[in-house]
Amino acid sequence: MLLCASRAAALEVSLKRVSTPATVVVATIEVRDPLPDRFRRLIEDGGVLHLRIQAELWESRPVWDRLVFPAIVRVFRFARGLSGSGISIADSAGTTSFYAAAPNPMAMAIECGQSARITASARYYLRLTATAGTLAERDAADVGDVVFGRESESSGLGSLGRMIFRTVVKVSDYLQSVSAEATTKRISGADLLKP
C-alpha cells in the first residue's frame, strides 16, 4: 500500500498491512525512531516519554467520510530500565518489555474493530497519528506546592493559583512533543476482508 506520510523530526509512522485474519480488522504498523534524539537525554536522566498511537478507519464516501470504528488509541511509556541501563516500554494494554535500546522500527498490530462493519463494495482508508512527548504531572505538582503551598494548607486563592499553574506547565510540556501522521490510499472493502 502506498502511503502519504508527513514527517515530523525523526519520528515516522507507516502502515504495513490491513487485514482481517479472523473476525477483527487488524492494522500492522511500524513507528520509526520511536525515541527521537531530543528525548533520549530525558530517558537517560530518569524521565519518562509517552508515545501515543491513534488509528482511525474511515469509509470514503462522496460527501462526508464516515468513521467506521471509534478511534483506537494505544499509549506506550518509555523509561530507563530497572538496572539503570537499557529501556523499559510499558503498553497501555498492561504489558512491559525490556530492551537494551529502543526498538527501531517498533512494530505493532492494532485491532481496529469487528469485520462485520466492513462492506465489500465500499472503499476505506486508515489514518494514523503518532505523538511522542512528556507529561509533567509530578513536576507541576512539586513546583506548585513550593509556590502556592500544599493543597491541605492553602486557601481558595492558593488552590486556584495551583490549578492554573499546573495547567500551564502541562500545556507547555505537551507542546514540546513531536508528531507524525500517515494516511493510506483508498482500499476496497473486499481487500480488507481478505485474511
In the chain, where are the structural domains located?
3-134+177-187
Q: What pLDDT is stored for residue 162 in this prediction?
A: 55
117 Cβ contact partners less than 8 Å away, ≥ 6 residues apart: 68, 69
Average pLDDT by stretches of 10, the chain with 195 residues? 40 87 90 83 82 91 90 88 81 85 89 91 92 64 43 51 57 62 89 83
The percent helix, strand, coil of the chain (3-state, each to 5) is 25, 45, 30
Q: What pLDDT is stored for residue 174 in this prediction?
A: 46
Q: What pLDDT is stored for residue 6 in this prediction?
A: 35
Q: What pLDDT is stored for residue 138 in this prediction?
A: 47
- Nearest-5° angle of CA 144, CA 148, CA 151? 80
Q: What pLDDT is stored for residue 17 in this prediction?
A: 87
Return d(Cα 15, Cα 83) in angstroms, integer. Answer: 34
Q: What pLDDT is stored for residue 3 in this prediction?
A: 36
Q: What pLDDT is stored for residue 127 in this prediction?
A: 92
Q: What pLDDT is stored for residue 37 in this prediction?
A: 77
Fold of 3-134+177-187: Immunoglobulin-like (2.60.40)
85, 101 contact by CB (below 8 A) = no
